[in-house]
């Protein structure tokens, strides 16, 4: 996997390579810009909205063969919500009566899967404004060139990656759709670098796509870095 520090370097890669390219725009949603999980309120204090004009510039100036837009798209009873802990406490590993706080990491032993989970505030509920793509993001309407992936739909397992559930139990349609379009090379941008962008990029790399992360078109939740 290759980290591209600036958007300008993306066009150089495009000119020097002939494979089919996809831009994967990860979770540029109201939630992470000015909503329930705004990055500006996170430890890194970064402004997720800053990526919007940068991503728009990529879309407008580089002729990507495929553009993928992903969205967190959770049901109200999703496993990732701290507010739903009381529904699932009897599935906790360890002392089920211990004090657990928002943003703690726990292990659930059921109901369907054993899975490790960060407990986030309620966010990106299906069909809400919080879950919508940001209004200023360029969303291309061409049907064959564009792929929309909604993730985190199963109430019992989370999805950071656009490719696979966090516990590896199920793949999304993204790999299939990219293969149908003969994509060989992907550029990953969006929110947040240290969670959904990183997970998507690592899975793309492991699926044998030549993978680039455009660093100035991403923002962090906790300032963790992706290792090349």
**Active-site choice (31, 124, 130, 151):** 151
Here the CATH number for the domain that contains residue 137 is 3.40.50.850
For residue 182, give the nearest of 62, 15, 22, 67 by alpha carbon. 22
**Active-site choice (31, 158, 194, 196):** 196
Is residue 154 included in any domain, yes or no? yes
C-alpha 209/C-alpha 211 separation (Å) is: 6
pLDDT given for residue 143 in this prediction? 76
What is the residue whose two structure tokens read 């404004």? 129
Is 124 considered catalytic here? no
Is 112 considered catalytic here? no
For residue 123, give the nearest of 73, 55, 161 by alpha carbon. 73
Is residue 96 included in any domain, yes or no? no
Is residue 87 included in any domain, yes or no? no
Is residue 25 included in any domain, yes or no? yes
Is residue 108 included in any domain, yes or no? no
Question: Are the C-beta atoms of residues 75 and 155 closer than 8 Å to each other?
Answer: yes
User: Please, what's the largest Cα pairwise distance for the chain?
Assistant: 58
**Active-site choice (27, 156, 203, 220):** 27
Q: What is the mean pLDDT of each run of 10 residues along the chain (228 residues)?
A: 60 63 98 94 91 98 97 98 97 97 97 95 97 97 90 96 90 93 97 95 96 96 62
pLDDT given for residue 154 in this prediction? 95
* ∠ Cα 144 126 60 (to 5°): 35
How many residues appear in the chain? 228
pLDDT given for residue 228 in this prediction? 47
C-alpha 103/C-alpha 108 separation (Å) is: 15
Is 196 considered catalytic here? yes
Is residue 57 included in any domain, yes or no? yes
Is residue 134 included in any domain, yes or no? yes
Range of the domain at 10: 2-76+121-219
Q: What does pTM read for this prediction?
A: 0.91
Instruction: Name the domain count of the chain.
Output: 1
């Amino acid at each position: 996997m290759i980290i591209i520090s600036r958007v300008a370097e993306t066009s150089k890669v495009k000119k020097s390579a002939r494979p089919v390219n996809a831009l994967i725009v990860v979770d540029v949603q109201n939630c992470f810009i000015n909503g329930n999980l705004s990055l500006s309120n996170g430890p890194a204090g970064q402004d997720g909205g800053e990526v919007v004009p940068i991503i728009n510039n990529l879309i407008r100036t580089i002729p990507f063969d495929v553009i993928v837009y992903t969205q967190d798209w959770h049901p109200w009873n999703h496993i990732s919500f701290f507010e739903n802990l009381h529904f699932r406490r009897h599935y906790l590993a360890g002392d089920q009566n211990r004090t657990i706080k928002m943003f703690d990491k726990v292990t659930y032993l059921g109901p369907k899967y054993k899975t490790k989970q960060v407990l986030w505030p309620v966010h990106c509920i299906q069909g809400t404004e919080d879950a919508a793509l940001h209004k200023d993001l360029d969303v291309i309407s061409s049907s064959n060139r564009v792929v929309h992936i909604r993730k985190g739909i199963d109430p019992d397992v989370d999805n950071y990656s656009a490719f696979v559930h966090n516990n590896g139990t199920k793949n999304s349609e993204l790999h299939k759709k990219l293969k149908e379009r003969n994509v060989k090379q992907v550029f990953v941008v969006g929110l947040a670098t240290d969670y959904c962008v990183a997970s998507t990029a690592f899975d793309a790399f492991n699926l044998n796509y030549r993978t680039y992360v455009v660093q100035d078109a991403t923002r962090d939740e906790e300032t963790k870095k992706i290792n090349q």
